[in-house]
Amino acid sequence: VPGDHDPTDRAYAEALDAADPLASFRDEFVIADDDVCYLDGNSLGRLPKATEEALRRVVSEEWGTGLVRGWSRWIDRPAQVGDRLGRAVLGAGPGQVLVADSTTVNLYRLAAAALDARPDRGAIVADPADFPTDRYVLQGLAAERGRRLRRLRAVRTDAVARACAPGDVALVCLSHVDFRTAALAPLAEITAAAHAAGALVLWDLSHSAGVVPVSLDAAGVDLAAGCTYKYLFSGPGAPAWVYVRAEQQRRLRAPVWGWFAQRDQFAMGGAFRRADGVTGWLTGTPSVLGLAAVDEGIGLVERAGVEAIRAKSVALTELVIALFDAWLAPLGFELMTTRLAAGRGSHVAVRHPEAWRLCRVLAEQDAVIADFRPPDVVRLGFSPLTTRFAEAWTGAERLRRACAERRYERVESVRPRVT
Ligand SMILES: *Cc1c(COP(=O)(O)O)cnc(C)c1O
């Protein structure tokens, strides 16, 4: 890539694509329309071709032909796929990760277990700007169990240390990457600060798993959860994951006593006796189809390597921030994402008073799929295995034109149910 470059020249983005070691991964995904700039892989990753194939096989062979006999293989899938996720993506040794249930349910059951383990501590430290489901789950648990939420001023180590200083905090629960601004939290430092005050830590890695390197074991994290349909390409509603650190599996008690967590499950005995290890954190019948999709998505990330994915993610966000300076700042946009590469995840958030109508114009007239987050934020998400530099460039250019030409003025401002 030429050292003396002009980011507003499309040739520059094309040169970055030509030099991109991950470029060929895009061919492994279904790209229904090459003209569409898909800048929403941080909400729903694209469909891998191998996943279409795997789902067909599981449906017709494993289910259609094998019928109920399939359970002898399926029964171990949540832990097997979990181990693979731990190894390839989470920096977690075997026996600590399960792929099962939804992120929301997993956050609830992990946070509940943490609170039960600290009955004499009345506070939960949370981020008031966190993803809605994370905030609601903690609000619900606080109400249900008579605890208080302590709102962090900022997701920073000093703020966490201050919030934990009174010594009454049971749990610190935060997202690794802020879903709105893309701010990347110092996970290991915050974990250490919370531990120093005797609190347990639960991280939501929905916006980082598969795109930001993490080492849950090395960072000393107690509990973590996240979804698989963003940077892990598993499809809408595919199962999420939980991480329960080995030593916490003995100390904490899973709140759901389901039959998949029962020791000697098929003896169907009268009393619940929780299985040892991470198996004791299973609940009920797992989504076998969903697990097949998760496994394929992890396989792609494993083959590319999270470090290489991260390097391209940084280069993509760098390019778009340069284009923001050249094109969007003069039109009244404001950059919400940090310019420090080490401090951000894989999207760039810009704000503009007409954000909502601009997103409509992009979707309806310009074949750009970005997303709007209230009140005035446009998120441009980059999924390095599928997003080309030229695609990111074109998305930013179409946003510039839609705004400069004031095309949003001709769009209705009524919002549908899903934004
Ligand atoms: C995407 C996301 C979720 C999704 O939760 P679901 O239970 O899958 O709906 C939760 N938390 C964060 C931080 C997310 O980014």
pLDDT in tens, the chain (419 residues): 555 689 999 999 999 999 999 999 999 999 999 999 999 999 999 999 999 999 999 999 999 999 999 999 999 999 999 999 999 999 999 999 999 999 999 999 999 999 999 999 999 999 999 999 999 999 999 999 999 999 999 999 999 999 999 999 999 999 999 999 999 999 999 999 999 999 999 999 999 999 999 999 999 999 999 999 999 999 999 999 999 999 999 999 999 999 999 998 888 888 999 999 999 999 999 999 999 999 999 999 999 999 999 999 999 999 999 999 999 999 999 999 999 999 999 999 999 999 999 999 999 999 999 999 999 999 999 999 999 999 999 999 999 999 999 999 998 877 777 87
Q: Whose CA is nearest to atom 8 of ligand 1?
A: 103
Other CB atoms within a 10 A radius of the CB of residue 247 amount to 10
- pLDDT, residue 4, reads 67
Q: 124, 150 in Cβ contact below 8 A? A: yes
- pLDDT, residue 40, reads 96
- pLDDT, residue 404, reads 97
**Alpha carbon distance 353, 177 (integer Å):** 24
Angle between helices 157-164 and 187-196 (to 10 degrees): 20
Tell me which H or E stretch contains 200.
Answer: strand 200-204
3-state secondary structure 36-63: CEECCCCCCCCCEHHHHHHHHHHHHHHH
Residue 134 in contact with ligand 1 by CB distance below 6 A: yes
**Alpha carbon distance 337, 347 (integer Å):** 8
Q: Which amino acid would we find at residue 21?
A: P
Q: Give the pair of three-digit tokens for residue 217.
A: 């074991």
Nearest to 335 by CA among 390, 278, 396, 402: 396
DSSP 8-state symbol, 286: -
Measure CA 373 to chain center: 16
Question: Largest alpha-carbon pair distance within the chain?
Answer: 73
Q: Whose CA is nearest to atom 14 of ligand 1?
A: 206
Residue 131 in contact with ligand 1 by CB distance below 6 A: yes
Q: Which atom of ligand 1 lies closest to the CA of 237? A: 8
What are the catalytic residues? 131, 204, 229-230, 379
Q: Which atom of ligand 1 lies closest to the CA of 240? A: 8
- pLDDT, residue 253, reads 95
- pLDDT, residue 416, reads 76
Nearest to 408 by CA among 349, 370, 362: 362
Tokens 């530099």, residue? 389
Tokens 């300076």, residue? 325
Q: 333, 311 in Cβ contact below 8 A? A: no
- pLDDT, residue 87, reads 98
Ligand 1 midpoint to CA 241 (Å): 11
Q: Tell me the backbone φ, ψ of residue 224, rounded to 5 degrees.
A: -155, 160
Q: Which atom of ligand 1 lies closest to the CA of 179? A: 15
Ligand 1 midpoint to CA 401 (Å): 32
- pLDDT, residue 269, reads 86
Residue 103 in contact with ligand 1 by CB distance below 6 A: yes
**Alpha carbon distance 242, 103 (integer Å):** 8
Q: Whose CA is nearest to atom 5 of ligand 1?
A: 103
**Alpha carbon distance 376, 354 (integer Å):** 7
Tokens 């002009």, residue? 6
Ligand 1 midpoint to CA 376 (Å): 21
- pLDDT, residue 3, reads 58
Q: Whose CA is nearest to atom 2 of ligand 1?
A: 206
Nearest to 316 by CA among 35, 27, 41: 41
Name 125's bridge partners.
150, 172
Best mutation site among 131, 178, 241 for ligand 1 pocket (most ligand atoms within 8 Å of CB) = 131
